[in-house]
């Protein structure tokens, strides 16, 4: 779905003005449950944080940015994450010329779940050698090399993790947390050890969406079955998850515009407004004559042939 949506938007966007095209973001689910004693892969957390940060940036300046398009799963919707204010407080922007003690920065990065290593090769790692601090932010495609003269940040450059050779020089860099699930788990365990019976407040991705966001559900019955099957694997009142009924209540209580993409009885697909109380303010049921959605699936990097598009 994520790849298909990317291709569709590319063709429907103004090809001469690529700035009008907003690359869809994928918000994946953790591939492990909390009781499995495994942390999600760094790439999974990276995509989750990239999506959340894109939503925060857009809400801070919606007039000058295209609204993000998000593709996710029902499992990811049920999983908790940082509250928006908490995530924003865990983000740090560094600029060339900033005055900062490198050791203080290392301490802050470790608090954000970055792992000290002799050499940075993977996301979420840091390495300090004299006045040079290498960091691989989870939201960055490349690690960055911060060069200090005393406490002054003299340069910021991307570098190749394999060869360690520097690439482009930049004027500023955004450092996001080096983890998500691990930080949440530490907070919950610390709260339990302190004997605090009050639950720590967490969010899910719905709290990052604007109130009038449009949500398209694909195959609602299949989504419900997947959610119920997922909940069977999760202990009751697990703090890492929002249960299916809680998620539905959250969707119903919001002002989201909702529609459903279903398979028609005679084959093909159609889009309709969600039934009450999740219906859109205005809308109409659409029944395009589609024998199969596969017929209209994007064909890689090239535009479909005209006779296919017109069928």
Tell me which residue of 204, 254, 210 sits closest to 82, measured CA to CA. Answer: 204
- Measure Cα distances from 275 to 73, 220, 294 in Å: 21, 11, 27
Task: Give the confidence band of 122 by pLDDT, cuts at 50, 70, 90.
Answer: very high
Taking the chain, what is the end-to-end CA distance rounded to the nearest angstrom? 22
pLDDT one-digit tens code per residue, 142-165: 999 999 999 999 999 999 999 999
**3-7, 23-27, 95-99, 243-247, range with greatest mean pLDDT:** 95-99
**14-28, 34-48, 101-115, 174-188, range with greatest mean pLDDT:** 101-115
Query: Is the domain defined by 2-88+179-212+220-255 classed in CATH 3.40.1260.10?
Result: no
The domain ranges of the chain are: 2-88+179-212+220-255, 92-175
pLDDT one-digit tens code per residue, 34-81: 778 788 899 999 999 999 999 999 988 877 777 888 999 999 999 999
Give domain 92-175's CATH superfamily. Penicillin-binding protein 1b domain (3.30.2060.10)
- Give one DSSP letter per residue of 201-231, joined into a string: P-B-GGGGS-TT-EEEEESHHHHHHHHHHHH
pLDDT score, position 136: 97
Q: Over the chain, what is the mean pLDDT?
A: 81
pLDDT score, position 254: 74
pLDDT score, position 289: 44
Spatial separation of the C-alpha atoms in residues 42 and 45, rounded to whole Å = 5
Spatial separation of the C-alpha atoms in residues 290 and 287, rounded to whole Å = 8
Spatial separation of the C-alpha atoms in residues 17 and 147, rounded to whole Å = 36
Spatial separation of the C-alpha atoms in residues 239 and 216, rounded to whole Å = 27
């Amino acid at each position: 779905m994520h790849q298909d949506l990317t291709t569709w938007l590319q063709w429907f966007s103004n090809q001469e003005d690529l700035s009008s095209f907003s690359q869809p973001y994928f918000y994946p689910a953790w591939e492990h449950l909390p009781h499995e004693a495994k942390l999600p892969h760094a790439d999974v957390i990276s995509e989750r944080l990239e999506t959340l940060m894109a939503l925060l940036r857009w809400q801070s300046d919606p007039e000058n940015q295209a609204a993000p398009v998000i593709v996710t799963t029902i499992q990811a919707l049920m999983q908790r994450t940082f509250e928006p204010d908490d995530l924003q407080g865990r983000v740090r922007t560094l600029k060339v010329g900033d005055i900062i003690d490198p050791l203080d920065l290392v301490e802050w990065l470790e608090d954000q779940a970055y792992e000290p290593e002799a050499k940075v090769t993977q996301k979420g790692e840091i390495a300090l050698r004299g006045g040079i601090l290498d960091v691989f932010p989870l939201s960055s495609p490349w690690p960055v090399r911060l060069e200090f003269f005393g406490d002054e940040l003299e340069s910021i450059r991307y570098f190749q993790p394999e060869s360690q050779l520097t690439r482009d020089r930049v004027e500023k860099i955004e450092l996001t947390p080096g983890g998500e699930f691990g930080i949440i788990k530490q907070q919950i365990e610390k709260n339990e050890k302190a004997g605090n019976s009050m639950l720590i407040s967490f969010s899910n991705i719905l709290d990052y969406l604007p109130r009038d966001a449009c949500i398209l559900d694909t195959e609602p019955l299949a989504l419900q079955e997947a959610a119920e099957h997922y909940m069977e694997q999760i202990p009751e009142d697990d703090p890492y998850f929002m249960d299916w009924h809680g998620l539905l209540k959250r969707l119903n209580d919001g002002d989201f515009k909702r529609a459903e993409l279903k398979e028609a009885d005679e084959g093909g697909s159609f889009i309709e407004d969600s039934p009450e109380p999740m219906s859109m303010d205005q809308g109409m049921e659409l029944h395009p004559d589609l024998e199969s959605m596969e017929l209209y699936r994007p064909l890689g990097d090239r535009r479909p042939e005209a006779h296919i598009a017109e069928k």
